[in-house]
Structure 1
Amino acid sequence: MTATKARQLIDAGHLDAKQYRQALQRRSEQVQEYNALTALLPAPVQQAGASGPLSGIPVVVKDSIDIAGVASTAGTPALAGNIAQEHAPLIQRLVEAGAVIVGKTVMHELSLGGTSHNGLHGQPRNPWDPWRVSGGSSGGSASAVALGIAPISIGADTGGSVRMPAALCGVVGFRPSLGRYPEGGAVPLSPTRDTAGPIARSVDDICLVDAVLSGRSTVAPSDPATPLILGLSPAHVRDLDADVSAVFAATRARLQENGVRIVPVDVDDLVDRARAIAFTLVWGEAEQALQHYLDTHGGISLSTVLEQVSRPDVAQALRTGLGSVTAQQHRAAMEERRALREAFTARLEVAGVSALLFPTVPVVAPGLSQDLSINLNGRQVPTFATLIRHADFGGTLGLPGISLPVGAGPGSGLPVGVELTCPPEGDEHLLALAAQLAPLIHDVTFPTHLVPAPNHTSATSRTTS
């Protein structure tokens, strides 16, 4: 059930909010082997007397975002006892709107990866196939929504960490423009790139949560009578997995059959330039941002966090990344980012397109053991770089983007997502566009026939006190 439908039933007196929450708790217990949650809260977090658009709606939250009285571990051992003293500002907005926070979700350690594997909480599993990843770094958040644990989850997106797992799990994920939602109260990676974002089962639910978190009116669908033109760049249709290619082609055909024009808009050079500065931004900001968070959350030293990192891939990234970017290099990257944002906006304006359209991820969900490399069109390619190949452009430039599930691959049966993105601050336009197109392309199939995941002690959800 979507959050929008649940609210309608609660308002009409056909659904008791407490019984609804208890039913979803039973669901979480039934699918605990999929390991979406780090913690199922024994006492749900809510604000007494709060009434609003999310009243009675259960929400789960990525384990890097602060909830008062609950640990924010960011999936790393040194922060296992990092109990938040107050809500992150965006959590405060949720509970003031009546939302009930029921759990925290598994994530890739310190948000530095695309599979959500970590040594502290184990491997979250894809609801469509427990032998495959749910994506990252907000993998547990996307998995929880697809599994039916909660209709809404809050993830965080630096380079695709909301949109990519949403695509791999067959749900909707939205990355807003930077600053659209209240900031702070989360374990950071790159303040220039980090933003929280909702994951849900429908565009209507995304718009509902967006209105709460942004403090704005709920976005309505665009006028279907208005001619619609979408752009497609060569970089985003090159070297795709066969399943992704097939589903994307079918999606384009459905759009065109319904009067949507799709025209070429070459931004390949901008994608390449953005890729060149992507990690300069991250490593030019990560150390200072992490240290500031730690200083304001109990004074845990950064060296202690680094010494206890559990994942080899994360430890390697931190060893090579921290201290590798000078202030001058970071300033140059920021200037290049500004120029790229302007160039992207101009390209879309000249072409007269409403948004860019592309597969959110070039591949379907990789296997659990494919941390380092996967086979793509007959050759081995790096897993992380491939998973973020498309989505990282928006993360680097701070573009709003929304991923919609559009069908399952004919070979694998796994979900495929398409992303719509537009220039910075175009969030209302993008959400209205997604709401207009969703009836044409949104695939509402869910993994209702869940395959039991293998029993494993690290794959059980934990209860926190």
Structure 2
Amino acid sequence: MTIAAILSRLERAETTAVALLEEVQARVAAAGAQAPVARLEWDRAFDQARAADRARQEGAAGPLCGVPLAHKDMFDRAGSVVGFGAHPDAQRRAERTAEVLARLDAAGAVDFGRLQMSEFAMGPTGQNHHHGMPVNPAVPGGVPGGSSSGSGVAVAMGLVPAALGSDTGGSIRIPAACTGVVGFKPSPGLVPRAGAMPLSWTQDVVGPLAASVDCARRVLSVLSAGRTRATSQPPGRLRLAFDDSSLTEGVSARMRAALADLRQQLRAQGHEVVVLDMGWLAHLAEPANVIAISEAATVHADRLRAAPDSYGPEVRARLCQAAGIPAQAYLRARQIRQIAITRAKAEIFAAADLVILPGLADVAPQAAALAGAKGAEIATMIAGMTGLTRPASLLGLPVLTLPVAQTADGPLSVQIMGQRGAEDLIADLAQHLETARRSDLHRGTDPA
């Protein structure tokens, strides 16, 4: 279920956009309660599919013409209800269509509905007080990751080749790592956020979760109005940095083995592998969180006062605690961000073109660990899942999460991080690695 395969079928007239949508409709129906959907909009989707078929017949097919997609339930579409993963009282009917959806529409994509998400995009596990937790198809009993939980699950299930998510501290990358799909967090400002639910306006970005790097970059090229390439090219010889510090000391033995295999593979391909002490990045998780939660508390201030009981207890507690963060702490966190951005340029990107870090410490944590967990226990799990993703959010760097190994318990993924504007370079390397890994899997081996 890749975009390239779908377009090939359509271009060879082996199927139509309407027939493809009927296939997806059947898969969603077969999945039943396992389908991570919040709202289905088949009537409008079939209208889009018929329009896509007409456009193809007239020679006016866009780059995603007829490709069926669905997205995180946080993007406005004129006339449709947006739920935000929240209590029904928070739902509203949108008057305008989010710019990202409008760009996908113009490219000919077919949007059949909204996907589940963490409440107001707050929470890296995928647990939702109001709507439950989507089932992770890649890790039995594992959390799906959040907050773009439904997007990761829908791609992993093969319901869609790509789905939009949002990332403030890891909300694209974490569910991608948990479900073994590709997640692409672009540079801030590359993709418009107009019509997308705000959480932290200085850290929010919109990007795709996808079945492959090729799928992700095709979607990102549309979202960015062509500012990123839709096709790959050989990455050339790169300086690639790996960490050797406290930042990654908590990762599992099998993740260490996967990273070691990856380093060996990259050296064999002619790249220069640089090992850096990036332990200072671990200290950025707290200022990143202070900024995010302070801005979120500002976004929700009026509604939290008017309808506190409509929030789930964990989200309500976090927002109420954030209301007590002094302005001085928020401003200091923003100062730290500027200092860290300068340091990253001077210390990391002076020595390396791209950085490779674990996506998670291991495979997705088990959902059972959340049962009965409270307060400090939940905070510990959240910190463990976001510790490796928050630094890039604070620094405003583009990152792609890529599965690199399959264990008996689930997938292991890495993050490929670059300087602002390095999306094409990141995707080129990721696509090269993905192709090499698929060749290994075809031969019956796995690097890990």
Q: Confirm or deny: 8 A CA contact 2:349 2:419 kept in the other structure.
A: no
Partner of 1:457: none
Residue 373 of structure 1 deviates from its aligned partner by 9.8
Which of the numbers 206, 210, 214 marks the counterpart of 1:204? 214
> Which deviations, in whole Å up to 9, do the C-alpha atoms of 1:213-245 show, x marking residues without a partner?
001152443435x32221012245311123333
- 1:68 is aligned to 2:78: yes
Matched residues in 2 for 1:441 and 1:16: separation?
32
1:73-84 equivalent positions in 2, closer than 5 A: 73-84=83-94
Which of the numbers 247, 250, 257 marks the counterpart of 2:261? 250
CA 1:304–1:144 in 2, change beyond 3 Å: closer, same or farther?
Answer: farther
Matched residues in 1 for 2:372 and 2:430: separation?
33
Matched residues in 2 for 1:380 and 1:36: separation?
23
Tell me which amino acid in the other structure corresponds to 2:403. P
Which of the numbers 384, 393, 399 marks the counterpart of 2:382? 384
- 1:342 is aligned to 2:348: no
- 1:259 is aligned to 2:270: yes
Q: CA RMSD in A?
A: 2.5
Residue 305 of structure 1 deviates from its aligned partner by 4.6
Matched residues in 2 for 1:331 and 1:380: separation?
27
Unaligned runs of 5+ in 2: 56-60, 443-448
1:190-201 equivalent positions in 2, closer than 5 A: 190-201=200-211
Tell me which amino acid in the other structure corresponds to 2:340. L
> Which deviations, in whole Å up to 9, do the C-alpha atoms of 1:131-187 show, x marking residues without a partner?
221111111100000101111100110111101111111110000011101112122
Q: Confirm or deny: 8 A CA contact 1:117 1:123 kept in the other structure.
A: yes
Which of the numbers 390, 403, 406 marks the counterpart of 1:405? 403
- Structure whose residues are more often helix by fraction: 2
Residue 30 of structure 1 deviates from its aligned partner by 1.9
Residue 53 of structure 1 deviates from its aligned partner by 0.6
Q: Structure 1 stretch 246-255 or stretch 68-77: which is displaced more?
A: 246-255
What secondary structure is seen at the aligned counterpart in 2 of 1:440?
helix
Matched residues in 2 for 1:275 and 1:117: separation?
21
Structure with larger RCO (C-alpha < 8 A, sep 6+): 1
Partner of 1:38: 38
Tell me which amino acid in the other structure corresponds to 2:309. E
Tell me which amino acid in the other structure corresponds to 1:340. A
Unaligned runs of 5+ in 1: 295-300, 447-465
TM-score, normalised to structure 1, is: 0.85
What secondary structure is seen at the aligned counterpart in 1 of 2:203?
coil
Residue 10 of structure 1 deviates from its aligned partner by 0.7
Matched residues in 1 for 2:412 and 2:287: separation?
28
Partner of 1:370: 369
CA 1:174–1:415 in 2, change beyond 3 Å: closer, same or farther?
Answer: same
Partner of 2:417: 421
CA 1:432–1:79 in 2, change beyond 3 Å: closer, same or farther?
Answer: farther
Tell me which amino acid in the other structure corresponds to 1:19. A
Residue 392 of structure 1 deviates from its aligned partner by 1.0
Tell me which amino acid in the other structure corresponds to 1:120. H
What secondary structure is seen at the aligned counterpart in 2 of 1:394?
helix
> Which deviations, in whole Å up to 9, do the C-alpha atoms of 1:282-333 show, x marking residues without a partner?
1331233346xx8xxxxxx3434532112x322221121124231x432332
Matched residues in 1 for 2:253 and 2:371: separation?
21
Matched residues in 1 for 2:93 and 2:192: separation?
20
Tell me which amino acid in the other structure corresponds to 2:411. P
Partner of 1:15: 15
Partner of 2:29: 29
Partner of 1:147: 157
1:19-418 equivalent positions in 2, closer than 5 A: 19-45=19-45, 48=51, 51-216=61-226, 218-224=229-235, 226-234=236-244, 235-272=246-283, 274-290=284-300, 301-310=303-312, 312-326=313-327, 328-351=328-351, 353-371=352-370, 382-410=380-408, 412=409, 414-418=410-414
CA 1:354–1:79 in 2, change beyond 3 Å: closer, same or farther?
Answer: farther
Matched residues in 1 for 2:422 and 2:104: separation?
23
- 1:438 is aligned to 2:434: yes
Tell me which amino acid in the other structure corresponds to 2:314. D
Matched residues in 2 for 1:73 and 1:343: separation?
40
Matched residues in 2 for 1:308 and 1:381: separation?
22
Matched residues in 1 for 2:21 and 2:367: separation?
31
Q: Confirm or deny: 8 A CA contact 2:370 2:378 kept in the other structure.
A: no
Matched residues in 2 for 1:419 and 1:208: separation?
19
What secondary structure is seen at the aligned counterpart in 2 of 1:320?
helix
Tell me which amino acid in the other structure corresponds to 2:362. V
Partner of 1:453: none
Matched residues in 2 for 1:333 and 1:52: separation?
43
Tell me which amino acid in the other structure corresponds to 1:321. A
| Percentage of identical aligned residues | 31
Residue 263 of structure 1 deviates from its aligned partner by 1.2
CA 1:344–1:219 in 2, change beyond 3 Å: closer, same or farther?
Answer: farther
Tell me which amino acid in the other structure corresponds to 2:323. L
Matched residues in 1 for 2:387 and 2:438: separation?
23
Residue 443 of structure 1 deviates from its aligned partner by 8.6
> Which deviations, in whole Å up to 9, do the C-alpha atoms of 1:331-384 show, x marking residues without a partner?
332222122112112223331x2210011111211222222899xxxx999211
TM-score, normalised to structure 2, is: 0.88
Matched residues in 2 for 1:290 and 1:443: separation?
48
Matched residues in 2 for 1:373 and 1:439: separation?
42
Q: Confirm or deny: 8 A CA contact 1:244 1:409 kept in the other structure.
A: no
Residue 99 of structure 1 deviates from its aligned partner by 0.8
CA 1:283–1:80 in 2, change beyond 3 Å: closer, same or farther?
Answer: closer
Q: Confirm or deny: 8 A CA contact 2:122 2:147 kept in the other structure.
A: yes
